[in-house]
Amino acid sequence: MTHTSININRLNHLLKLYKLSKKDLLANLNQDRKKALSESEVFGNQIKISVLKKVDELFKKGLGYYIDPKDIKESKEESIFFRKDKFNAELSFGAKQIVTHFEEEKIAFSALSKLADFKNERTLPFFTVKNNPKKVAEEIRKQIYPGFNKDRKAFLKSIITKLADNNILVFEFIETWNKKEKANINGFYLSPNVIVLKRQKSYRRETFTLIHELGHYLLNVEEIDEKIGDDYSAYESLDKIEKWCNDFAYYFLIGEMDNVISNIEKASSKNDYHHELIKDISEQTNLSEYALYTRLRINDKITYNDYQSVKTEFENKYRENEEKLRKEREKEKLEGRASQARAAKPILSPLYVNTVQSAFIEGIIGESEFCKRLNVKPENIEKFLK
């Protein structure tokens, strides 16, 4: 059998979900084809199974999804794309794939929690943009700041654990270098209690993104973010909600060291732009030096031109480091040396792990589902349950 019938309404539902036209889908399918597919070959009564597989490479629903005769009704519970029209990003197709995947994960987690009798009530209060972000940060910091750790990854994990203690679920995703559809987002918040982060080269930046999205949780305003305003120009272009979340993230991470930033002498070439002091504050807070200089600019503690000069320094250092790493990788390849880097694994929230473990122990999910969800080899299940 080379062809099959599909429920065209289900394919149209996906197009509506992803905000794609038929032409958009055809353009995507025809990218690497010598002979372009016509509309009738994709949206007709019959479709080649090979073409249907290509369609599913984009939507990742499984072939059975398209064949099922039962229609799907548009639901706000299904996706943020049905709840909201505009976002803080012009979303790429890869970004839409990621968001849709974690919407499904959120729904699945909610179902598992109920079956495993896990309680996920909100413990943190609601706020609005009328609340002072600094005062809110001081209040929330008392409840969930885990204590400083100079190990940046460990610090990020400890915040994720604290959020888990307050029934906030954090997912992290890792985008491989060879992924076809790239996600042009850094993080997002899905109501009622899910935050999703993209693994960054800098754990400082990822931590800032996490606390920024926590700001969205406190405001209960869903958002998908590409830029989080670590650059002054980007910050200035943000709306009041995004600025509030950025300010909250800064005050949460800076803590009492904000007194130093607020009372600092204006940075200039005369005092070497306070490089040593800013570096020291960065080391004590896990806020990047760049983020701290951006805050100096927001507070008018450095002129725009001086800020741009400092920014250029950071950008040049970053490019130099990237070039150095690129040359090291090329040298390893030429010398036939295998890379020592292990495949990265996303950080798992204890809230997610505990819920999946309970679901497995109570027989709600089987071994294969348990291993898939926690990325565990079957032979290591017993160790993982200890």
**Do 126 and 257 belong together in one domain?**
yes
Does 84 fall in a domain? no
**What's the token pair of residue 233?**
């120009």
Domain of residue 372 covers 351-385
* Maximum average pLDDT range among 23-32, 226-235, 347-356, 366-375: 347-356
pLDDT at 161 over 80: yes
Residue 255 zone, left/alpha/beta (φ > 0; ψ -120 to 50; rest): left
| pLDDT band at 45; cut points 50, 70, 90 | confident
The pTM score is 0.91
- Is residue 38 domain-shared with residue 7, that is, in the same domain? yes
CB 355 within 8 A of CB 116: yes
Residue 10, domain member (yes or no): yes
* Same domain as 228, residue 191: yes
Claim to verify: residue 318 and residue 205 sit in the same structural domain: yes
Same domain as 215, residue 256: yes
Are 180 and 138 in a shared domain?
yes
Pair 153, 274 in one domain: yes
Report residue 340's pLDDT band, with 50, 70 and 90 as the boundaries: low
Q: Which of 61-65, 189-193, 377-381 has the lowest mean pLDDT?
A: 377-381
Supply the pLDDT for residue 320.
Answer: 87
Residues 183 and 92: beta-carbon distance below 8 Å: yes
Question: Are residue 293 and residue 355 in the same domain, yes or no?
Answer: no
Same domain, 146 and 114: yes
Q: How confident is the model at residue 342 (pLDDT cuts 50, 70, 90)?
A: low
Q: What whole-number distance in Å separates Cα of residue 385 and Cα of residue 382? A: 5
Number of structural domains (the chain) is 3
Chain mean pLDDT for the chain: 91
Q: Where is average pLDDT lowest: 103-117, 273-287, 321-335?
A: 321-335
- One domain for residues 50 and 135: no
In this structure, the answer to whether residues 154 and 302 fall within a common structural domain is yes
Q: Residue 104's closest CA among 62, 134, 61?
A: 61
Among the listed residues 63, 329, 91, the one whose alpha carbon sits nearest the alpha carbon of residue 226? 91
Q: Write down the pLDDT at residue 38.
A: 87
- Report the alpha-carbon distance of residue 212 to residue 234 in Å, rounded: 14
The reply to whether 275 and 136 lie within a common domain is yes
In a domain, 313, yes or no: yes
**Rounded CA gap, 212 and 147, in Å?**
18
**Residue ranges in the chain assigned as alpha helix (H):** 8-18, 22-29, 39-43, 49-59, 63-67, 80-83, 93-115, 133-144, 152-165, 203-219, 232-236, 240-254, 258-263, 275-285, 289-298, 304-334, 350-361, 367-374, 381-385
Indicate the helix (H) or strand (E) that contains 196: strand 194-198
In one-letter notation, the amino acid at residue 94 is: G
Judge whether 197 and 156 are in contact, CB under 8 Å: no
**Considering the domain boundaries, does residue 367 fall inside one?**
yes
